[in-house]
Amino acid sequence: MKSIQKVWFITGASKGMGLEITKAGLNNGDKVIATSRNIDELVELSKLHGGHLLPIKLDITNEKDVQSAISNGIAKFGRIDIVVNNAGYNLLGSIEEISDEEFRKTMEVNFFAMTHIIRNVLPHLRKQRSGHIINTASMMGYMSYPGNGSYSASKYAVIGLSEALAQEVAPFGIKVTILAPGTFRTNFMNQETLTVAQHQIDVYELNNQIEQFTGFDGKQLGDPKKLAEVVLQITDMPNPPLHLPLGSDSYHAILEVRKHEKQEMEQWKSLSLSTDFE
């Protein structure tokens, strides 16, 4: 028998990885506060799970709405134990092509919205002296490619913030995990859902990058259901990982990047060490 029932707060819960994590939590006997801009799928799912699922329509970039969603969730279930910052947004375009407004939207959804949730849920987690914050970065938070600069910048930021957060909240019994998924078989790479820079410059050949990106659709290595099961596993660990690549593509690519970084640092070591006072 399950001894401890947990309460999850999940963003981007209506599709893809977020929906699979929601289902995994429910199937585990837990309760879930599931948020998304569109909650039609979640409302239907709630009919199968009685009072264990609370769907909340939420714009995560609006901090007042975030505060309300957290308060309503705690009013319904009494507490929050696991926070999964899963919602994400991708924009393809070179740095010169992307407008300030487009770049800021990427950062708002992928980074600042996450900080809204963390800032407003932490008082509750600190009070109960427990909790697990799971922030979804990406393998693209460890490396970047042409046309992916804004997305990678936002995911690098997620990693940096999460590393600091983990040290800040450890004294209160709160854990932090950074997920770094590779390619998973969701609609993230679908041509119909893809967002690209409005102002395109021919010399950057963005169409080639779009074709390469969407060419992965339906061929991604990762299984979202298996990802959800891993997330479920780490929430039961007394000492879960801080950094967790998910998928063989993510794991191997991150190791390769680290290897090249080490080689580059050794190559230029003399310059690096030359700037200290004698």
Question: Residue 222 carries which DSSP code?
Answer: B
Q: Which residues contact 150 (CB under 8 A, 6 or more apart)?
A: 91, 93, 95, 98, 102, 103, 106, 107
To 10 degrees, the CA torsion angle through 64, 34, 20, 212?
A: -30
Annotated active-site residue in 89, 142, 151, 156: 151
Q: How many CB atoms lie within 10 A of CB 201?
A: 12
For 54, residues 6+ apart whose C-beta sits below 8 A from its C-beta are 31, 32, 33, 34, 46, 72, 73, 76, 77
With the C-alpha atoms ordered 28, 132, 63, 137, is the resulting torsion angle positive or negative?
negative
Beta carbons within 8 Å of 180's beta carbon, 6+ residues apart: 137, 138, 139, 141, 142, 159, 243, 244, 245, 246, 250, 254
- The widest CA-to-CA distance across the chain, in whole angstroms, is 71
Instruction: Please state whether beta strands 82-85 and 53-57 pair in parallel, antiparallel, or not at all (unpaired).
Output: unpaired
**Token output for 79:** 């507490």
Q: Report residue 22 as tokens.
A: 């929601």
Q: Give, in degrees to the nearest 5, the angle at Cα 250 between 244 and 256.
A: 105
Phi, psi at 243, each rounded to 5°: -105, 125
Q: Mark whether 151 is an active-site residue.
A: yes
Report, as residue numbers or ranges, the catalytic residues: 151
